[in-house]
Structures are given as structure tokens and as C-alpha cells.
């Protein structure tokens, strides 16, 4: 069965710092990859997605992620975070063997200090 | 209303009660999902419906009973729950269920129902 690992459970940064959140998955075939964000008190929103093509994906609010197939990774990056980026971030994978299932990582809580 | 809506937003129930959670999607999608979000744990997929047919049931206890009367509505009927069932229950929809490599299985989430079982 596929699994998703987010190794950073809680990240604390100051405004303007650069961000990189790790995401690794276990599945050797074709995958769809997602990053979702959950702001305090709000519902899950899609930040960006990868289906095929250019492995560097740009999403909303200045976020981007790079799919590195050889490393089974899909790390999320932002060059300069803002206080409003404080939220929980979830990586998710949709794999060929169980394409109806979106498997989520455990989430990373990002706190940005003003 | 747009997107995916869920009612109620908060629910407190005793272990002997019977209640239902409702989800409605206004996106014209054909697939709907129930997830459970517990503190400090990954989102757990509970059920998947595609064209009103249940296509996934992830070993969910029978005290949770889903119903999908049409492609726009999804219910989760609850009875004799346990305190450990307290969680945020999320509904999601996608244009289709499955199809890796395609663009139609992106899931859109509702705001969730915060359930507390006493």
C-alpha cells in the first residue's frame, strides 16, 4: 500500500525566511501528487498539484514544489514566507494501484512569527 | 452555494444517539468521499462513491453507514458511536474517482463537521 511521509511535524520561521517542507511517498509507479493547506478554522484547500510534465510545479500564493521521481519526493518550497502562511500543510499522493484513494501525510504545522 | 458544503458544522452526541452528517457538492462531480481527521493523525479515507456506487470501504466499523442517493449528496449515518470517534469528518468530491495522470481526480473539500461523542 502507498504511504506518505512528512518528516517535519512543526516548523517555526520568521517572516521573510525561506521554507522547504519535505514529502516522500512509497510507490514505484505513476502518481499524482498534491499539497493541500488548512488555515486555522478553514477547510482544506489545494495549494498545487502534479499530474505529469514539468516536475517543477507552481501553485498559489508563491508556493512551488518539485517532483523528483528518483527520490520519491515532492517537497514544497516558498522563498519568503509571510505571517499569513501560518497553517497546516498536507502532502497527498494518488497512486495507480489504488487511484481512487488519496493518501495523506500526517501534516506539517507551519508557524510564521511576525 | 458553491463548492462542497457540509451540515452540521458541529455535532455533539451521546453514544446511544443516531445522527446523520450531510454533504452536498455543487460542482457537477461524479465522485464523493468521506474522510476522518483526528488530531495528530493523517486524514483517513473512509468511503468513496463513484456515480452513486460505493467503490471503496476502508475497513470502517459498521456504526458508520454511508448513503449516496445521487451524485450531489452524500450522507454519513452514525449510531452507537464511541468517544474515540470524536474527530473532524470531511467530505470531498472530484470529477471522477481514479485516473492517475489525468486531471479530473483533484478533490475539493468541504469545511467538515466537528463531531464530539460523549
> What confidence tens digit (pLDDT) does each residue in B68-92 have?
999 999 999 999 999 999 999 999 9
Q: Could you say which residues from 73 to 112 on chain A have a Cβ atom under 8 Å away from some Cβ of chain B? A: 90, 92, 94-96, 99-107
CB contact under 8 A, A51 and B103: yes
Are the Cβ atoms of B111 and A43 closer than 8 angstroms? yes
What integer pLDDT is reported at residue B66 of this predicted model? 95
Calculate mean pLDDT across residues B36-44. 87
What's the rounded Cα separation, in Å, for the pair B19 and A64? 41
Q: In whole angstroms, how far apart are CA B1 and each of B20, B27, B33, B35, B71?
A: 21, 10, 19, 22, 16
| Most A-contacting residue of B32, B37, B42 (CB-CB within 10 A), to test interface | B42
Question: Chain A partners of B40 at a C-beta cutoff of 8 Å?
Answer: 106
Strands B108-109 and A10-14: unpaired
Instruction: Give per-residue pLDDT as tens, B6-29.
Output: 999 999 999 888 999 999 999 999
* CB neighbours of residue A80 within 10 Å: 12
Q: Does B50 touch chain A (CB under 8 A)?
A: yes
Strands annotated E in B59-107: 64-70, 73-79, 87-94
Amino acid at each position: 500500500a502507498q504511504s506518505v511521509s512528512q518528516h517535519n511535524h512543526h516548523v517555526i520561521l520568521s517572516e521573510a525566511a525561506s521554507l522547504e517542507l519535505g514529502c516522500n511517498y512509497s510507490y514505484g509507479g505513476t502518481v499524482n501528487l498534491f499539497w493541500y493547506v488548512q488555515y486555522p478554522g478553514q477547510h482544506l484547500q489545494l495549494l498545487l498539484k502534479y499530474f505529469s510534465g514539468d516536475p517543477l510545479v507552481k501553485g498559489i500564493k508563491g508556493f512551488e514544489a518539485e517532483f523528483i521521481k528518483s527520490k520519491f519526493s515532492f517537497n514544497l518550497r516558498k522563498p519568503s514566507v509571510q505571517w499569513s502562511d501560518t497553517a497546516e500543510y498536507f502532502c497527498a499522493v494518488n497512486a495507480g494501484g489504488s487511484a481512487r484513494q488519496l493518501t495523506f501525510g500526517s501534516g506539517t504545522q507551519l508557524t510564521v512569527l511576525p | 452555494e458553491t463548492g462542497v458544503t457540509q451540515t452540521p458544522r458541529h455535532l455533539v452526541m451521546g453514544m446511544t444517539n443516531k445522527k446523520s452528517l450531510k454533504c452536498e457538492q455543487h460542482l457537477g462531480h461524479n465522485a464523493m468521499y468521506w474522510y476522518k481527521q483526528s488530531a495528530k493523525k493523517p486524514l483517513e479515507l473512509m468511503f468513496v462513491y463513484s456515480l452513486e456506487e460505493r467503490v471503496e470501504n476502508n475497513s470502517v466499523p459498521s456504526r458508520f453507514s454511508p448513503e449516496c442517493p445521487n451524485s450531489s449528496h452524500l450522507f454519513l449515518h452514525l449510531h452507537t458511536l464511541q468517544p474515540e470517534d470524536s474527530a473532524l469528518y470531511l467530505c470531498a468530491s472530484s470529477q471522477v474517482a481514479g485516473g492517475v495522470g489525468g486531471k479530473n481526480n483533484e478533490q475539493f473539500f468541504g469545511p467538515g463537521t466537528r463531531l464530539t461523542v460523549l
